[in-house]
C-alpha cells in the first residue's frame, strides 16, 4: 500500500475513533435523598451514573467528593463542583450531562431522620445492629466479605454482605462498635489488610484511598477574606482525604502545604491579613 494511502487510512481511523469517543455522554442523575456516610462522600453516594462502560462507571462511582459532614453540619454539593471533580478525573466537561436535583444536601450520619422520633436511631445504623433482636438475642448484624479481598483494594457494595453473627464468636463480643455494620460506611474505602470471606470486618482494617499521588498535577484552591484563588501545583508526596500534603509551585519552585480535599484537589485556607495600624505624626502609633 502506498505511504500516502496508509496515512489517509490512519487519519480516517483516528477521526472515526475520536467521533465515537466524543459521542459517549456521561449522565449524572443527582439523588434527592443521598446515602448517608460516616467518613468520605463518594460520587456513587449522591448520584446514579449511566452512559459509559460499566467498568468506567464503577471507577467513577468511587470518586471522592468531600469529607462526610461533622455532627450537626450540612454540606451542599452543586453540579459545578461535581463537574470539576469529574474533569480532574479525566472526563471531558462537554460530555457530562446532569439530571435530577440541582444540588445535593448532605447531613451527618448521626443526625436523626426527619421521619423518625428523637429516640430512634438513623437509617444508616439501625438500633437492631447494636443490640440483640427479640428473635435472635444472641446474635448481632455485621458485614462480612463475599470473597477474599487483598490489601489495597477499594471496596464496593457487592464485596460484602450483612449476616447474623453469634455474640462471643471470634472477637465479636458485647461491644460491636469496632466492626462495620452497614455497607454505606465502607463503599469506596481501601483495605489496610487482607479480608477473609465470611469474617466480620474490623473498622481499623479500612482507610480512605489516596486522592493525591506524588508528582500529580493538583488544583489548589486558596481562600482569604471571601476571595478564592486557584492555581496548579505539583504534589511532593502521596496524600489521603483530609491529610496535609506538600506541594510545589512549578513556576517559582516554592514549597507550601495544603489539605487534600478530593482527587488531585487541595485546599489552602489563608489567615486574613492583620489590619493596618494608623501611625500618628512623629512616628508614634
- Rounded-to-integer distance, Cα 206 and Cα 153, Å: 10
- Rounded-to-integer distance, Cα 68 and Cα 57, Å: 22
- 236 pLDDT more than 90: yes
52 contacts 91 by C-beta, under 8 angstroms = no
Through-space distance between the first and last CA atoms of the chain, rounded to whole angstroms:
87
| Fold for the domain defined by 128-207 | Type Iii Antifreeze Protein Isoform Hplc 12 (3.90.1210)
pLDDT at position 276 = 56
Distance of CA 94 to the CA centre of its chain: 22
pLDDT at position 88 = 76
Average pLDDT over residues 246-265: 89
Q: List alpha helices for the chain, DSSP H.
A: 3-23, 43-46, 54-61, 79-88
Length of the chain: 285
CB atoms under 10 Å from CB of 6, counted, come to 10
241 contacts 40 by C-beta, under 8 angstroms = yes
List the one residue out of 88, 40, 89 whose CA is nearest residue 65.
40
- 248 pLDDT more than 80: yes
pLDDT band at 283 (very low <50, low <70, confident <90, very high): low
8-107 placed in CATH 2.60.480.10: yes
96-100 and 64-67 strand pairing: unpaired
pLDDT band at 278 (very low <50, low <70, confident <90, very high): low
Q: What is the mean pLDDT of the chain?
A: 75
Element holding 183 (H helix, E strand): none
pLDDT band at 111 (very low <50, low <70, confident <90, very high): very low
Domain limits, CATH 2.60.480.10, in the chain: 8-107
253 contacts 246 by C-beta, under 8 angstroms = no
Cα separation values, 70 from 38, 58, 66, Å? 9, 27, 12
Domain limits, CATH 3.90.1210.10, in the chain: 128-207
| Domain range 210-269, CATH architecture | Roll (2.30)
Element holding 77 (H helix, E strand): strand 74-78
**What is the per-residue pLDDT across 42-99, written as a single tens digit (0 to 9) for each?**
888 889 999 888 888 888 888 888 777 766 667 788 888 888 888 877 888 888 999 9
Domain limits, CATH 2.30.30.760, in the chain: 210-269
- Rounded-to-integer distance, Cα 272 and Cα 277, Å: 15
Task: Cell 492583620: give the residue.
Answer: 274
Torsion of CA 29, 35, 38, 44, to 10 degrees: -40
Highest-confidence segment of 4-18, 111-125, 148-162, 261-275: 148-162
- 22 pLDDT more than 50: no
pLDDT at position 117 = 36
**What is the per-residue pLDDT across 129-182, written as a single tens digit (0 to 9) for each?**
444 444 444 788 888 999 999 998 888 888 898 888 887 776 776 667 788 888
Enter the C-alpha cell of residue 143: 458485614
Cα separation values, 136 from 168, 199, 202, 235, 236, Å? 14, 19, 22, 52, 53
222 strand-pairing partners: 229, 268
186 contacts 155 by C-beta, under 8 angstroms = yes
Amino acid at each position: 500500500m502506498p505511504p500516502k494511502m496508509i496515512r489517509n487510512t490512519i487519519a480516517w481511523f483516528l477521526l472515526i475513533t475520536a467521533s465515537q469517543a466524543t459521542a459517549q455522554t456521561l449522565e449524572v442523575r443527582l439523588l434527592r435523598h443521598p446515602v448517608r456516610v460516616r467518613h468520605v462522600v463518594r460520587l456513587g453516594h449522591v448520584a446514579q451514573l449511566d452512559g459509559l462502560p460499566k467498568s468506567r462507571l464503577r471507577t467513577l462511582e468511587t470518586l471522592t467528593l468531600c469529607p462526610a459532614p461533622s455532627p450537626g453540619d450540612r454540606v451542599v454539593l452543586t453540579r459545578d463542583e461535581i463537574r470539576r471533580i469529574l474533569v480532574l478525573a479525566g472526563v471531558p466537561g462537554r460530555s457530562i450531562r446532569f439530571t435530577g436535583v440541582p444540588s445535593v444536601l448532605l447531613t451527618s450520619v448521626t443526625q436523626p431522620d426527619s421521619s423518625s422520633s428523637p429516640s430512634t436511631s438513623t437509617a444508616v445504623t439501625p438500633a437492631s445492629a447494636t443490640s440483640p433482636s427479640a428473635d435472635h438475642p444472641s446474635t448481632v448484624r455485621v458485614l462480612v466479605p463475599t470473597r477474599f479481598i487483598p490489601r489495597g483494594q477499594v471496596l464496593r457494595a457487592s464485596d460484602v454482605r450483612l449476616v447474623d453473627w453469634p455474640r462471643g464468636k471470634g472477637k465479636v463480643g458485647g461491644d460491636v462498635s469496632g466492626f462495620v455494620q452497614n455497607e454505606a460506611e465502607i463503599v469506596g474505602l481501601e483495605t489496610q489488610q487482607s479480608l477473609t470471606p465470611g469474617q466480620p470486618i474490623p473498622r481499623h482494617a479500612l482507610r480512605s484511598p489516596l486522592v493525591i499521588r506524588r508528582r500529580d498535577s493538583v488544583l489548589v484552591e486558596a481562600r482569604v477574606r471571601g476571595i478564592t484563588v486557584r492555581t496548579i501545583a505539583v504534589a511532593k508526596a502521596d496524600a489521603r482525604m483530609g491529610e496535609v500534603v506538600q506541594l510545589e509551585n512549578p513556576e517559582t519552585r516554592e514549597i507550601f502545604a495544603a489539605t487534600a480535599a478530593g482527587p488531585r484537589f487541595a485546599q489552602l485556607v489563608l489567615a486574613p491579613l492583620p489590619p493596618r495600624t494608623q501611625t500618628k505624626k512623629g512616628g508614634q502609633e
